[in-house]
Structure formats: structure tokens, C-alpha cells
Amino acid sequence: MSPDAPTPPPGDGRSPGRFGSDQGWPRWTIFVIVAVVLGAIGLQVLASSTSSTSTSYGEFIQKLESNDVKGASDGNADATFNNTNGAISYTATDGTKYDTTGPLQPPDADQQLMTEKGVDFSTPTDSVLSTLLPLLLPVALLIGFFVWMQRRAQGQMGGIMSIGRSKAKTYSSEKPATTFADVAGYAGVKQDVTEVVDFLKHPEKFGEIGARIPKGVLLVGPPGTGKTLIARAVAGEAGVPFLSVTGADVRVMLVGVGASRVRDLFQSARKMGRAIIFVDEIDSIGRKRGAGLGGGHDEREQTLNQMLAEMDGFEVTTGIVMIAATNRPDILDPALLRPGRFDRQVVVPLPELDDRRQILDVHVKHKRMAPDVDLDLVARGTPGMSGADLSNLVNEAALFAVREGSSEIHKRHFEEARDRVLMGQRRESMALSDLEKEAIAYHEAGHAVCAAVLPTADPLHKVTIIPSGMALGVTMQLPTEERHIYRQDYIEDSLVVRMGGRIAEDLVFDVVSTGANNDLVGATELARKMVREWGMSSRVGPMAWGSQGQVCLLYTSPSPRD
């Protein structure tokens, strides 16, 4: 069994006596019964069949008269006459066996001859098996059909009765093999969750001083940042049972079933003593409760109420730590986030430069890398990428190397993979006219010149006029360092770089084209933020009207580099 093989939770809903269960018949029982019946029939057929030669009744009488039947001369002929069907079987003097069929009432002369020669007149009795089998087989089939129907009904009833059982996967004796060493970067996040591990390993150390460990830890961050991986690492480090469930497994259409599953989940954890309960995508059941229609009777709200009671209600849940993950912290119910339930929120942000470098080291560990690959440069060129994005980037680079027939992954493969991830597949077969190619070249050259001469702009990295994805050309800049705040001069230079392509077209061709559409969209959004949110307008002054963007971490507002 693999280390991550889940152990079935107690009370998995299987009915007693069902085929394959621990208390009922094994699954191979029905096959054994069928094999025994078929074997008995086959043996009966083989026993009744003999290797003999067919002949006529007259020939039998002739051989009997001429003593050509074995033992006929001594009055003890090796012959048998069946009174029920007239079947005759005999053995000739040369040892050959014959069989034939005579009349049920032979002529008197023939009957006297057979009597003198010692022919055995008998009425053979069938064996008990051959007699009862035709009667017992239909009865057995009928009984088996009713038993099968009963088992099926019990199984369906057991499935209905187990609908309120928890669907959590339990990892107990075979704990997850993931540890903090497998989680690259995120030193601050690992420091926050290390206290949970220490409490589960040494609870007496916290009890002596009177400290109380957080009952719940909420991991908040964008998708792909490794929230589930961190939860598995906590379970692997603590060495305690780990129950994993998703919000979709708890919430169902039937009212009250979700609350029943939550109760069963915590009951299973209490039986294990110390345990970790991990709920992924908790926002599907932890949304804010509202008044009005459906208030208090909605299935989701009943499930949430039960979870609130289990985490911090009258019944103490000592030794049970709940870890949840979400990228929608803004919609969670305030009662779920208060101290005593989810005491601690751990933000798992997009990785910084050093974190991306460590994540890349993990993903290239078992890949054949060429000496010209500079992972520091790759980490610099992937700002805003999550751990999942970096894993996909390394895999795309390996795929490019395989397509090229290379035995190693080179620097150019990472460049192609990054272009593929950020911009899409290259469209080298796209037919462009010479005028279009010239316009694209001057457009990208305008971006490149502005990026090269402006003092605060990010350094120029690459310019291409090969269509990729939806773009006909791309000018790529690489930041020299991670930025968390943006100065006004940097943003203004970013606006100039964005508009450089359109200005270059106007200067060279005295006319503009639609090629600057994406540049105008980005520049307009950036200028709007400068005025509405960042207070960088001298005419409007230092005022902000708030963001119109999404609050969800799935959607982030564009940065000045977008």
C-alpha cells in the first residue's frame, strides 16, 4: 500500500452481509457454487458416457448365438439389457464394446436365448444426484434470485442511511509523506503553522504555561500558491491522523445532510484523539449568512451552523486542529473567523523572487538541465507566477526540449516556455503582408526605444515580431528587483513605454493603426488608477474613490507592468 493510500473512515455505509464485506459472504462464493454445480453435471455426463461402437439388434443376436459375446459360452455373458428403454450393451470376445437398442418386449426365442447365455436383464437406478439435480437446480436458482434481491435492497438501504456519513479521506497509519522540506520558500508561512505541529507533538508543553493553541488556521491566498501542500506538510510533520475533505463533499442538495456530515466528521476526529481536519475551498459552505428569504432554512446555512457549533460549542474539541483553505476570504461569515474558531489567518501570497528561485530548484531537481540555464534569470522573468505556474513552466520547457530532440533542457527552451505560458503558442504559419510586418516592427521598436532610454523603466529583455497567441509582436521587460510600491515617476515611464508603439507608427507612417489596442487599454486603466485611487493627479488632488476591481483573490488588479 502506498504511503498516501486513504484508510476508509469508520462506518462507511456498507450493509452487513453484503458480498465482499467483512461480515458477509466473499465475492467469490457465487462463482464457487456455480463451478460446483457445473462440475457435478459434467461428472454425471462423463460417467454415463462410454467409448463403445454402435451395432444392430440382429447382429447382437447372431453374436450371442455364435458365442461371440464374452462369457456367452459359460452362460455368463458380459451383456446388459435395459428393461426401461431397450438399451443393450455387451462386450465381444475380442474385448470390443458394443451398444444397440432392442425391443422392450423381445421375441420369446430371443428372450430365451439371452436367458441361456446369461444376459443381465436389469432396470438401472439413477444416482441420487442425477435424480435430485433437475429438481434442486430450479429451486436453487429461485432461492439465489431472492437472496440477491434481498442483498441489493439492503445495499440500497445502507446507501440511503449512509448519506449523512462524512466523505473525508482519512490518513492515519500511513501519514502523508509531505514535509516542510518539500515546501519551497514561504518561510514566514511555515513559521506560523509550525506552532500547530509543536502542539500536536508536545501538547503538555503548552498546557504547563497555560497557552492555548489556535483551534483553526485559515490559509488564504490566490490559486496555485500551495495551500493544500502546506496542509499536507503539517500533517506529515505532526504524525497524527489527517482527515481531508472539500466543501463540495459536505454540501449537498438535501437539507440537513451537510450538517450530518459535519457531525460525523468531527466524531471521527474525536475518536482518533489528536487529529487534523483539512477543509479545502471552505468558502463553498462558509459564506456569510443573510436575512430574508431562506434565512436559517437553507442547507448551506445549516451546514455552517453545525460547523460553528462543532468548532467552538458546548462540546470541547481538545486535540483537534482545523485547517482550511480559500481564495475568497471576503465572503466568509464573521462568526467563522472569530477567535475560538479560526483564530489565525495565514496569508499564502504569490511567491517573491527568492521563493520563486527555491520553487524552481524543487521542480528541476529530477530534470536534466544544460549548463547555460540560469534559474536566477528565470525567476526574475516570472513575476506574479504562482508555484503551479512555475511547475507548468518547467514542464513546458522539458516538452520543448523533447520536441527539438535535445537530451538536455537549455536556456532557449525556458524562453520559449515562458512565451508560451504568458502569450500563447507561436503562430509562425500566420501569413502577414510586408506592410504589416513593417508596421509591427516599427511599433515594437517604439516600445523598445522608450524602455531603453527612460531612467526608471524596467530593462529591455527581448523584442519579437513573431505572432504569439493574440499578439502580433511583443516587447518584454525584466524588472531588476521585486517592487511592492510604485513611485509616480516609474508609473509615468511605464505609460510612456506603453504609448511608444503608437507614437512610432504616427512618426513613421503619419497614420495610426489598430495594433495599439491592447496598449491603450492598459494605459487607460493605469491612468485611471493614478487619478481615482492613488491620488497622483495635480488637478484632482490627493483623493481616492476606491477600486472597481474584484475583491476575490482569483482576480487581481493590473500592476504598472501589465
Q: Is 162 exposed, middle or buried (0-12, 13-18, 19+ CB in 10 A)?
A: middle
Given a contact cutoff of 8 angstroms between Cβ atoms, the answer to whether 289 and 301 are in contact is yes
The conformation of residue 451, written as its DSSP 8-state character, comes to H
Q: What would the grid cell of residue 94 be?
A: 475380442
The C-alpha angle with vertex 58 and arms to 56 and 62, in degrees rounded to 5, equals 120
* CA atoms within 13 A of residue 215's CA, in its CB half-sphere: 18
Are the C-beta atoms of 223 and 393 separated by less than 8 Å? no
Helix spans in 272-352 (H): 299-311, 334-337
Q: Phi/psi at 101 (nearest 5 deg)?
A: -130, 130
Rounded alpha-carbon distances, angstroms, from residue 125 to 37, 118, 164? 21, 21, 61
Catalytic-role residue among 237, 301, 416, 444: 444
DSSP secondary-structure letter at 471? B
438 is catalytic: no
Centre a 10 Å sphere on the Cβ of residue 209 and count the other Cβ atoms it contains.
6
Helix and strand counts by DSSP (H, E) for the chain: 18, 13
Q: What is the residue whose three cell numbers read 515611464? A: 493
d(CA 204, CA 7): 29
Q: For residue 164, give the DSSP letter.
A: G
> What is the Cα–Cα distance from 100 to 92, expressed in whole angstroms?
13
According to DSSP, the residues that pair with 184 across neighbouring strands are none
HSE-up (13 A, CA, CB side) for residue 488: 9
Q: Which residue has the cell 490566490?
A: 222
Contacts of 561 (CB under 8 A, 6+ apart): 383, 458, 477, 479, 494
What are the E-state strand segments in 249-319?
275-280
In whole angstroms, what separates CA 313 from the centre of its chain? 34
Distance of CA 143 to the CA centre of its chain: 41
The answer to whether residues 127 and 44 touch, using CB atoms and an 8 Å cutoff, is yes
Chain center to CA of 382: 28
Q: Residue 333 has which C-alpha cell?
A: 461569515
Sequence-ordered strand ranges (E) for 382-535 = 460-464, 474-477
Grid cell of 379 as nine digits: 525567476
Which position has the grid cell 506560523? Answer: 192
- Spatial separation of the C-alpha atoms in residues 405 and 54, rounded to whole Å: 76
What residues form DSSP beta bridges with 323?
217, 278
What are the residue numbers of the active site?
444
